């Protein structure tokens, strides 16, 4: 095959990657992912009602801020009304300490995370952070970066093919892998920016929804106490937990005087919050252990870590399990 012919094929391969991901694509992808995760979703009315009440407080404040044109440009690039009418928070049965969103209508709070929260403030802070990823369209941005990384890997492969004299296919493959790895490493900086932005936006939603601004960084501090802040920030998708705690304290200290009027009582505190934690643990333990549940839990375990700077062993194991299944 001539170099000219190879370049033509490359351009044809890159054409689909030139278009940016749309809200519709992200929402469709999120709905498909939800169908796979659904067996692990806890449908208990009391827990569903509680989580949606917290989420409702967050979304109402976010909508008011959106009307005031608050937030990054990415929030205003398309019609954003769907973010306020369909946002759904789910408790999911998983022993992994995590929370994440697929960028559409769904945000997932793992039961293990609920068990680790000491107060509703900590739970609400995580929920506000996850909703902020939707508000800023971070999943859409991530899809676009994946397109770029794939395109970069293809370009690297072609360059390797055209420059090598011998064993061109092997050199092209190595070049593609190497270029993709470099782009993946570079993209970690953007991901850290996304996480920092989600903290900024989430803090505003959380504070205006009535929870204690001084408590926003408490869950990050709890994760530090559990030993999750050991990865160098340069090698992580996330800002360090220590820096996130410091930033949360600075935001709280910088609030205007009228912020004191935002405060509202928690939906559940003390014994009531502890009872909800116990109920979630009891229901999770009683869910039937069929194959669909196990598949859903594996997918949840494999999801990107949205809180800690490093992956947990369960996440590494789940990804290896999925990779092995795909290879068979």
What's the rounded Cα separation, in Å, for the pair 87 and 52? Answer: 9
What is the pLDDT at residue 310?
66
Q: Kindly write down the DSSP assignment for every residue of 272-304, as one continuous string.
A: HHHHHHHHHHHHHHHS---HHHHHHHHHHHHSP
Nearest to 216 by CA among 269, 270, 252, 255: 252
What is the pLDDT at residue 232?
62
Point out the residues of the chain with pLDDT beneath 50: 1, 3-18, 147-190, 235
What is the pLDDT at residue 185?
34
The answer to whether residues 276 and 50 touch, using CB atoms and an 8 Å cutoff, is yes
What is the pLDDT at residue 237?
62
Give SS3 for 322. Answer: helix
The answer to whether residues 20 and 277 touch, using CB atoms and an 8 Å cutoff, is no
The answer to whether residues 53 and 124 touch, using CB atoms and an 8 Å cutoff, is no
* Residue 84: C-alpha distances to residues 41, 59, 280 (Å): 21, 6, 26
What's the rounded Cα separation, in Å, for the pair 311 and 253? Answer: 31
Full-model pTM: 0.78
Q: Which tens digits make up the pLDDT trace of 122-165?
A: 999 999 999 999 999 998 887 766 543 444 433 444 444 444 44
Q: Is 56 exposed, middle or buried (0-12, 13-18, 19+ CB in 10 A)?
A: middle
Task: Kindly give the residue spans of alpha helices, DSSP state H, lying in 16-81.
Answer: 23-37, 45-67
């Amino acid at each position: 095959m001539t170099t000219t012919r190879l370049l033509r094929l490359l351009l044809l391969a890159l054409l689909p990657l030139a278009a940016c991901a749309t809200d519709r694509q992200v929402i469709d992808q999120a709905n498909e992912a939800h169908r796979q995760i659904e067996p692990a979703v806890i449908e208990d009315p009391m827990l569903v009602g509680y989580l949606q009440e917290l989420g409702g407080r967050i979304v109402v404040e976010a909508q008011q801020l959106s009307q005031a044109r608050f937030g990054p440009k990415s929030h205003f690039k398309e019609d954003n009304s769907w973010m306020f009418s369909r946002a759904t928070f789910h408790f999911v049965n998983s022993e992994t300490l995590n929370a994440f969103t697929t960028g559409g209508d769904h945000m997932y709070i793992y039961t293990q995370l609920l068990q680790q929260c000491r107060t509703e403030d900590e739970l609400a802070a995580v929920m506000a952070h996850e909703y902020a990823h939707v508000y800023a369209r971070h999943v859409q941005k991530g899809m676009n970066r994946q397109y770029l990384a794939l395109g970069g890997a293809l370009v690297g492969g072609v360059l390797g093919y055209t420059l090598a004299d011998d064993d061109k296919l092997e050199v092209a493959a190595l070049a593609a892998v190497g270029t993709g790895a470099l782009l993946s490493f570079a993209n970690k900086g953007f991901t850290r920016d996304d996480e920092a932005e989600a903290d900024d936006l989430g803090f505003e939603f959380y504070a205006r929804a009535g929870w204690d601004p001084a408590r926003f960084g408490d869950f990050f501090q709890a994760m530090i106490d559990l030993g999750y802040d050991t990865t160098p920030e340069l090698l992580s998708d996330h800002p360090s937990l220590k820096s996130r705690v410091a930033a949360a304290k600075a935001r709280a200290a910088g609030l205007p005087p009228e912020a004191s009027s935002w405060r509202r009582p928690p939906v559940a505190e003390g014994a009531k919050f502890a009872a909800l934690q116990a109920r979630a643990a009891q229901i999770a333990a009683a869910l039937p252990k069929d194959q669909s549940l196990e598949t859903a839990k594996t997918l949840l375990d494999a999801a990107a870590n949205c809180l800690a700077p490093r992956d947990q062993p369960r996440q590494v194991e789940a990804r290896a399990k999925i990779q092995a299944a795909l290879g068979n």
